[in-house]
Chain A
């Protein structure tokens, strides 16, 4: 049986449904990331696992025990809040010791555990400071220290890095990944940042409007998104979408037409058995990093609007006939000028196809 199990969990606020029948499971030691846009219900779902939010319907189980009606403190979970939620009037040491004191842990054990946590998080020198005397990154470490010192069954992280600057965020991301490896604990992590999701997760749960859109490993979500929403959410820069039409079908797959395609149409092999009748409207998805300039068998004919030099790579913004707006991420610094017409072909990856409802074909 799974270590963490959510069984048709729902949350209603008055007439508003914030989480709608979510079912998922996580194995022991797994790092699961909930990702989705603002208001998709990911934080509410996490708080329901913690017990901080009442569950309107469904059940939550942790380590084989149904905890739906169990008080937060008795669920043996630790949570790191977005705001850190440190006690401002207590020193770092008192902050970390608070939960242990509440559990009436013997003093010598408290000291040992604080020392261990401080060593892991490299905050030994900060133990006697107040939270206001710490930088954002240090506060975050203290918040994590407070979580690990209790040896919980489950760690919950609610957008823990969103208050940090870009550099610190990258650094802390690596540290959280290391911590997960060292502790081997089960972690559930909420973020709206798909890079955090991709780099940290064993499995990602993409949420949209309170429902699970797709669950899978980062690679699965990137390579085979089940919907146009997931395809657009995972990957940076965002996948290019072209509104096209099915023009026919042959042994090479579906023929899809759009004025921007070299020759007016391309062949796409569907990955599902969903129906795709000729004449139906579809969306073609192309990842910017999969497109290359030139090539023997060009896919698109585009006019360059402008180019962004990122140092090691160049991000090209181009338009094509039929209202196509395409971004290309190409290595190096190709000598292109705005207004130049160029051909782009598929270098790696695949062409994604979505039907009128947004589901992958």
Chain B
């Protein structure tokens, strides 16, 4: 039998702590969504309770939640599609071509993520009002695209850089033009990176709250995270409903992430070793 040293025990305890800290809020959200209001407000907290689906029944009866989930789906899907459509050719150019201003462009993409979104909230609101885009799904897609495009470009550029240049040169010698090299060589070979960046874009767009809150006031256009916060109004705090809505919002993305996690790890580690 292998000897278990104290170092390994400390390591395991550390890992366990990280897992507990990471997963506990998630557990608490799901558990709370299955509790009745009395169990929810009990102090000290109730660990053993009779689960109820009443909160879910309530939120699904409320058409706002379903509409909001569909809005989120639409915005996140469009953002992801556009980010990949625009980001991958940009990444290819950054990975393989030398042009003036390349370093500045690259820095601009990175610096996009330096800025806290809240700093830009007011200017973006004024701008959107000026061009008549307030209360449209388009404005959310555009703003999500602004923040997600750099992620797609970063990840894909790195992925494309790991493709040996010999392969491109061979294709060039065989008569492939720039588009064919991108379409037939780079895109299929960079698929893990493209998939990872698409997943990130989708998740970020799906979870985006601040701009949805600022730019959308029409109930019919609100996204899922906004609707979840809408329950916090008046004198009542219906924790059960909030948690059930939260679970409904998080679940699809979590399932999606679990399914593609193997791909994600491959994509993130690709290019790390030659």
Contact = CB atoms under 8 A, between A and B. Distances in A.
B61 interface: no
A66 to B, nearest CB: 19
Given A81-B166, A102-B180, A87 B185 contact: yes
Contact of A52 (B167, B169, B174): B169
A39 B173 CA distance: 24
Interface string A64-100: 0000000111000111011101111100000000110
A78 B175 CA distance: 10
A89 B171 CA distance: 13
A52 B171 CA distance: 11
Interface string B161-173: 0001011011111
A338 B33 CA distance: 89
Interface residues of B, number: 16
A89 B169 contact: no
Contact of A98 (B164, B169, B171, B188): B171
Contacts of A103: 175
B164 to A, nearest CB: 6
Contacts of B176: 73, 98, 102
A71 B174 CA distance: 11
B213 interface: no
B189 interface: yes
21 contacts: A51-B173, A52-B172, A71-B172, A72-B172, A73-B172, A73-B174, A73-B175, A73-B176, A77-B173, A78-B174, A79-B169, A81-B166, A81-B169, A83-B166, A87-B170, A87-B171, A88-B189, A98-B184, A99-B173, A102-B176, A103-B175
A79 B164 contact: no
Given A73-B175, A99-B175, A103-B175, A85 B180 contact: no
B172 to A, nearest CB: 5
**Which 4 interchain pairs have the tightest Cβ spacing?**
A99-B174, A102-B175, A85-B166, A73-B175
Interface of A: 50-52, 71-73, 77-79, 81-83, 85-89, 98-99, 102-103, 146, 150
B173 A73 contact: yes
Interface of B: 164, 166-167, 169-176, 180, 184-185, 188-189
Contacts of A51: 173
Contacts, number: 57
**Most chain A CB inside 10 Å of its own CB: which residue of B164, B174, B188, B189:** B174
Given A52-B169, A79-B170, A102-B180, A85 B164 contact: yes
A91 to B, nearest CB: 13
Contact of B164 (A78, A83, A150): A83
Contacts of A83: 164, 166
A85 B169 contact: yes
Contacts of B171: 87, 98
Interface centre among B169, B173, B180, B185 (most CB of A within 10 A): B173
B130 to A, nearest CB: 47
A150 B174 contact: yes
B164 A89 contact: no
B166 A89 contact: no
A86 B170 CA distance: 8
A103 B175 CA distance: 7
